[in-house]
Amino acid sequence: MSKHKKNGLLVVISSPSGGGKTTVIHRIIEMDDRRFTYSVSMTTREKRKGEVDGRDYFFVTKTEFEEYIRRGDLVEYEQVHDWYYGTPREFLLKSLQAGLIVLLDIDVYGALNIRQMFGEKFLSIFLKPPNKAVLMQRLLDRGSETREQINKRMKRVEKELQMSGRFDHIVINDRLEDTVEKVIEIILSKYNRNK
């Protein structure tokens, strides 16, 4: 094993709800490239159909989540649409020390909050939907939320799109295969420079 410390990379992929961040990350992880790992976030929201605790999210109660906050065990957290979402600290630090590329699927505000903690080991990518109609259709196609919940998410979209300029890269998520290819290209360019 080399004596040189490996340089991992923390990659935040963000988008408005329905913007495709989770799908893009899953596609990258499914490629089975051992340089990549996924940081599972924690949430207080209900599990959606097909989601698995510990794979998609760590599903916890509001009381449990607030205990994580109190102990300082999260690198970031947000309350979004009546639910908490956060990123556990320990997994991130261990993965970076191992020289891995850690993919995070977090909202726009959470993404920008952790940039200063990781400096050169941080990369942010904003996935922009081709237009709002596509975004609305993706949310409706999920079939997991009420119309009221979807409307709440859509009200937040304009602010999130305005904040996209604060990210290192913006990728328009029109065709999934092209988006995944572009995101990997951006990540590996930064990762290889950091080695």
- pLDDT (average), residues 114-129: 89
**Rounded CA separation 91/188 (Å):** 21
Identify the domain containing residue 183 by its residue range.
9-39+98-194
Asked if pLDDT for residue 1 goes beyond 50, the answer is: no
Residue 77 lies in a domain: no
pLDDT digits (tens, 9 = 90+) for 138-177: 777 777 777 787 777 777 788 888 889 999 999 999 899 9
Whole-angstrom distance, CA of residue 85 vs CA of residue 153: 15
Read off the pLDDT of residues 13-45 as tens digits, 9 standing for 90 and up. Answer: 998 877 889 899 999 999 999 999 999 989 999
Query: What is the SS3 assignment for 74-102?
Result: EEEEEEECCEEEEEEHHHHHHHHHCCCEE
pLDDT of 133 higher than 80: no
Q: Does residue 81 belong to any structural domain of this protein?
A: no
Q: Which residue has the higher pLDDT, 27 or 135?
A: 27
Number of domains in the chain: 1
Domain contains 155: yes
Specify whether the CB–CB gap between 152 and 45 falls below 8 A.
no
Task: Return the pLDDT at 3.
Answer: 37
Structural domain contains residue 73:
no
In a domain, 189, yes or no: yes
In a domain, 63, yes or no: no
CA separation for the pair 45, 25 (Å, rounded): 20
Q: What is the pLDDT of residue 66?
A: 96
CATH number of the domain where residue 106 is located: 3.40.50.300
